[in-house]
Amino acid sequence: MSENLSACMMRMVETDYALSDYQSDIAPRWCVGCGDTAILTAMQKLCRDEQLAPEKTVCVSGIGCSSRLPHYMNAYGFHGIHGRALPVAEGVKIRRPDLDVFVTTGDGDCTSIGAAHWIHAIRYNMNMTVLLHDNQIYGLTKKQASPTSPIGQKSNTTPFGSVLLPLNPLTVTLGVANVSFVAQAVDWIPDLLYDILKKAFHHRGLSFVRILQRCPEFMQHRFDDYVRDPSKMRILTHGNGLRLSPEVSRVYKNQETHDPLDMGRALAIAAIADEIPVGILYNDPSVPCYDDLRAGERPSTPALVETVLREEFDKVTIWPDDAEPVAAE
Partner 1 sequence: MIKQTEGSQAVAEAVALCRPEVICAYPISPQTHIVEGLGALVKAGDLAPCEFLNVESEFAAMSVAIGSSAAGARTYTATASQGLLFMVEAVYNASGLGLPIVMTVANRAIGAPINIWNDHSDSMSQRDCGWIQLFAESNQEALDLHIQAFKLAEEMSMPVMVCMDGFILTHAYEQVDMPDQAQVDAFLPPYEPRQVLDPAEPVSIGAMVGPEAFMEVRYLAHAKQTMALDRIPEIAAEFKEAFGRDAGGLVRGYRIEDAETIVVALGSVVGTLEETIDTMRAEGVKIGVLSIRCFRPFPMAAVRAALARTARVVVLEKSFAVGLGGIVSTDVRLAMVRIHVRGYTVVAGLGGRPITQDSLLRVLRLAVADELKNLTFLDLDWDIVNRHLAREAATRRSGPIAENLLRDIGSGARPTTAGKAQP
Binding site for partner 1 (CB under 8 A): 25-26, 63, 79, 81-83, 112-113, 115, 138, 140-142, 144-145, 147, 156-160
Nearer to partner 1, 59 or 193 (CB): 59
How far is 181 from 126, CA to CA, in rounded Å? 11
- Residue 156 CB, nearest distance to partner 1 (Å)? 4
- Residue 157 CB, nearest distance to partner 1 (Å)? 5
Which amino acid makes up residue 258?
Answer: H
How far is 39 from 307, CA to CA, in rounded Å? 44
What sign results for the dihedral spanned by CA atoms 108, 218, 207, 104? positive
In the chain, helix, strand, coil percent, each to 5? 40, 20, 45
- Residue 251 CB, nearest distance to partner 1 (Å)? 38
Nearer to partner 1, 20 or 317 (CB): 20
How far is 255 from 280, CA to CA, in rounded Å? 12
How far is 175 from 157, CA to CA, in rounded Å? 29
- Residue 259 CB, nearest distance to partner 1 (Å)? 34
Nearer to partner 1, 93 or 143 (CB): 143
Nearer to partner 1, 118 or 226 (CB): 118
DSSP letter, residue 128? E
Nearer to partner 1, 116 or 305 (CB): 116
Exposed / middle / buried, residue 11 (Cβ in 10 Å: 0-12, 13-18, 19+): exposed
- Number of Cβ within a 10 Å radius of residue 165: 9
- Residue 161 CB, nearest distance to partner 1 (Å)? 9
What sign results for the dihedral spanned by CA atoms 190, 194, 195, 196? positive
How far is 162 from 183, CA to CA, in rounded Å? 26
- Residue 158 CB, nearest distance to partner 1 (Å)? 7
Contact in structure between 191 and 247 (CB atoms under 8 Å): yes
- Residue 246 CB, nearest distance to partner 1 (Å)? 43
Q: Nearest-CA neighbor of 67 among 8, 33, 110, 12?
A: 110
- Number of Cβ within a 10 Å radius of residue 16: 7
- Residue 160 CB, nearest distance to partner 1 (Å)? 5
Nearer to partner 1, 27 or 327 (CB): 27
Nearer to partner 1, 34 or 145 (CB): 145
Nearer to partner 1, 147 or 205 (CB): 147
